[in-house]
Structure 1
Amino acid sequence: MTLNQLTLVFCLFYFSLQSQNLKAIDSLMKLHEDNGFSGNVLYANKDSIVFKGSYGYANFEKEIKLNDNSKFDLASLSKQFTAVSILMLIEQNKLQYTTDIKTIWPNLPYNGITIEHLLRHQSGLPDYMDFLEKKSYWDQSKIATNQDIINLLTTSNFPLLFKSGTENRYSNTGYVVLASIVEKLSETTFEEFLQKNIFTPLDMNNSKIVRRIYKPDNDPNLTVGYFKKGNKNKPNYLFNDELKIYDGIVGDGMIHTTTTDLYKWIKALKNNTLISKSNTEKMFSGDAISSSTGFGLMIQDSKSLGKYVLHTGNWQGYINFMLYVLKSEEFVVILSNNSYEEYSLINNQLIKNGRQSTN
């Protein structure tokens, strides 16, 4: 544990003794801000937001402070939205968990990959980033789209990493394929599907897909991602120009939203607003291949929290964390745009002090 971490742990203990209220959480978050954190946080207990706060800058160069409406790139936190989109199609009888993806794209050179394999990261599909970054497969001056990934999988005969349904290995490719299935079966873009079926019904008015190079967006509430931790007055703008080739791809990332909109999202899952209780339970559960992998979420269990679902996201300076405890109905979101990696410490502090504030 670093000196800064020890200092924060001590401060947590100190503030817990001195004050069991929301000021303790705010004080702790300001310590994280001084340590390099820039982002928004939220802690909710059952049907109430106990605490939310903004610390740092949406744009350091322009000195634009973060606020409740600041939109962050969710990176892999986006996968749960892709999963629910698929479950909605299943409930519309357009798909089944056992549907083989060759029935959708007959020319794909893979046999036996089902929808559930894709949802649970059990497809064995190769990582699309591994072949997009090679000039022999992709023109590095072009931005790839989902259709380009499907075309490459169809024509290039990349071998599976393992036989589908026999192992569990995290797969961005699987969720790109799932988003492509949503587009094909709904006959609309993935962006339009999310807006019509999820964001608008849930009043997630600060949520949308953003592809900043492929489809420039001048939304003033968009944050900028940064790389360097430490001196908040001199961060390094992260954008890696080599990564622009991925900017047209959706399903595994690209959703931008706020902490409050994510609270609306988790409430909808809890209340079975979008999908049935049985499908929600399946989404929040593992299987025989992997007890820790749900649909777009990971599943854990601990003595202190019981069963909970979580996920992280990391892309272009954004590091995000989301956790939902099933029994106590506690929800934590940490969205950071300055590569701040101490989210596990922040999570523990939000839960501990948030619980004290509700007692």
Structure 2
Amino acid sequence: MKAPFRYLYIVLFVALFSGCSKQDRSEDDKEQLNERTYLWMKPSRVKYPQLSKAYKNDKKAAVERFCDKYFRNENNSVSLLVAKNGQIIYERYQGWADKMEGTKINADTPLHIASVSKVFTATAVLLLVDKGKLELDQKVSEILPEFPYNDISVRNLLSHRSGLRNYAYFIEDKGVWDLHQTITNQDILNLFTEKEIKCDCPADTRFCYCNTNYAMLALIIEKITGMKYPEAMKTMIFDPLEMHDTYVFDYNKDRKTAVPSYKGNMMEIGLDHLDAVYGDKNIYSTPRDILKFDLARTAPTFLNKKLREEMYKGYSYEHKGEKNYGLGMRMYEWEGGQKFYFHNGWWHGSTSSYISLVKDNVTIIALSNKFTRNTYAVRKLAPLFGDYPFKFDDEE
């Protein structure tokens, strides 16, 4: 091989694989490349029927009446989208993105989606399971050796049945953590052993919604992929789906540029010691990007059939009721057999609601960076599109 070509080969090799972990570099070159491609989420290729103009106009008018009631004041921040068959029926963007800077919310403004981030984290985990890199019933301690609770599985984390204590609460116990210091996912894991943190209950005995579960899932994603969580999410989900306005918040890099959140009186809410933890929160996105994500998640190419069924079933039946939780999604299960899949979020002044009416091919998304519970009222739009026992509320 002549010198110039040998040099070019070396440059290309370094460019392709310099970002891999030591574990990646020890594998065959072909396998390395596969590790970086096969995990990618695939965009939806489903061809849904085109909506008629009359249908779209009718639904648009109804949604607009609803929004004129719940988000009538233009200072009420909202980023909202309703779509069927992947076709946008209605959008509304209003309010301050950054009041001090004088910028308004538009279709490209990434807002903090709070606990809707859990759906993304769960999706990445399920992709790893689908490709055989992880098992739902695998014990977390087999993946994260520092994890001291041997009975907790990946499935338990996903379904909020681990029994783990919420890190936001246990770090406030005397002597556990200096609340003047920002805590990270790895810090939480370390504290389990260092401070002998006890679980609230034995694993898989009851449902207990807990952010710690998804902070640990983010570490599992990092361990399996060899990438930091923000990079893994970008590589596996955001880039393949062309979600160009979506990112994982980096406390050190993004805290001065991310869209702030506000109280109801428009007083800005600053960051605190919990804002460097991701997996349970800390994704910023837009309704249009989340629509791309929802279309990909509901496409038949997303996961194998058995795993899709595992994702959409409820796991907690200790108490009789309509509410339940699957693998990364909340749900209502009614006696008539109808199911309603969604996830809400609330972090500082940001609220979010992501609704996926799978059977009806409908997506409803509402985000706000000014605190309001009206974001959650968008579930009342569901009866416009199917048999859901919510009262459609569009009148005074």
Q: TM-score range by the shorter chain?
A: 0.7 to 0.9
- Letter of the structure 2 residue corresponding to residue 329 of structure 1: N
> Would the aligned equivalents of 1:100 and 1:114 in 2 still touch at CA under 8 Å?
yes
**What do the CA deviations read for 1:307-354 (whole angstroms, capped 9, x no partner)?**
121111000100111111122122111101111112343442476399
Following TM superposition, where does structure 1 have runs of at least 4 consecutive aligned residues deviating by more than 6 angstroms? 353-356
Q: CA separation of 1:303/1:29 partners in 2, compared to 1, >3 Å: closer, same or farther?
A: farther
> Would the aligned equivalents of 2:316 and 2:324 in 1 still touch at CA under 8 Å?
no
The structure having more radius of gyration, on CA atoms, is 2
Q: Secondary structure at the match of 2:273?
A: helix
- Letter of the structure 2 residue corresponding to residue 247 of structure 1: D
Q: Secondary structure at the match of 2:135?
A: coil
Written as runs of structure 1 = structure 2, the 5 A alignment for 1:1-359 is: 20=58, 22-23=60-61, 25-26=63-64, 28-35=66-73, 37-134=76-173, 136-211=175-250, 213-216=251-254, 222-228=258-264, 235-239=266-270, 244-287=272-315, 289=317, 292-302=324-334, 306-349=338-381, 352=384
Offset, 1:21: 5.6
How far apart, in 2, do the equivalents of 1:351 and 1:44 lie? 14
Q: CA separation of 1:131/1:40 partners in 2, compared to 1, >3 Å: closer, same or farther?
A: same
Bigger shift: residues 33-42 or 19-28 = 19-28
Offset, 1:284: 1.6
Offset, 1:191: 0.5
Offset, 1:22: 2.8
**What do the CA deviations read for 1:148-195 (whole angstroms, capped 9, x no partner)?**
111001222111111101111101101111110111111110111000
Residue aligning to 1:7: none
Q: CA separation of 1:332/1:303 partners in 2, compared to 1, >3 Å: closer, same or farther?
A: farther
Offset, 1:121: 0.4
How far apart, in 1, do the equivalents of 2:337 and 2:379 lie? 12
Q: Secondary structure at the match of 1:88?
A: helix
- Letter of the structure 2 residue corresponding to residue 298 of structure 1: R
Bigger relative contact order (CA 8 A; separation at least 6): 1
Q: CA separation of 1:133/1:258 partners in 2, compared to 1, >3 Å: closer, same or farther?
A: same
> Would the aligned equivalents of 1:20 and 1:353 in 2 still touch at CA under 8 Å?
no
How far apart, in 2, do the equivalents of 1:217 and 1:159 lie? 33
Q: Tell me, which stretches of 5 or more residues in structure 2 are unaligned?
A: 1-56
Q: CA separation of 1:106/1:265 partners in 2, compared to 1, >3 Å: closer, same or farther?
A: same
- Letter of the structure 1 residue corresponding to residue 254 of structure 2: P
Offset, 1:62: 3.0
Alignment RMSD (CA, Å): 2.6
**TM-score of the superposed pair, with normalisation by structure 1:** 0.83
Q: Secondary structure at the match of 2:127?
A: helix
Q: Secondary structure at the match of 1:43?
A: strand
Offset, 1:248: 1.5
**What do the CA deviations read for 1:100-139 (whole angstroms, capped 9, x no partner)?**
1121233433121111111110100111111223451112
Q: CA separation of 1:21/1:79 partners in 2, compared to 1, >3 Å: closer, same or farther?
A: closer
Q: Secondary structure at the match of 2:254?
A: coil
How far apart, in 2, do the equivalents of 1:203 and 1:29 lie? 28
> Would the aligned equivalents of 1:300 and 1:308 in 2 still touch at CA under 8 Å?
yes
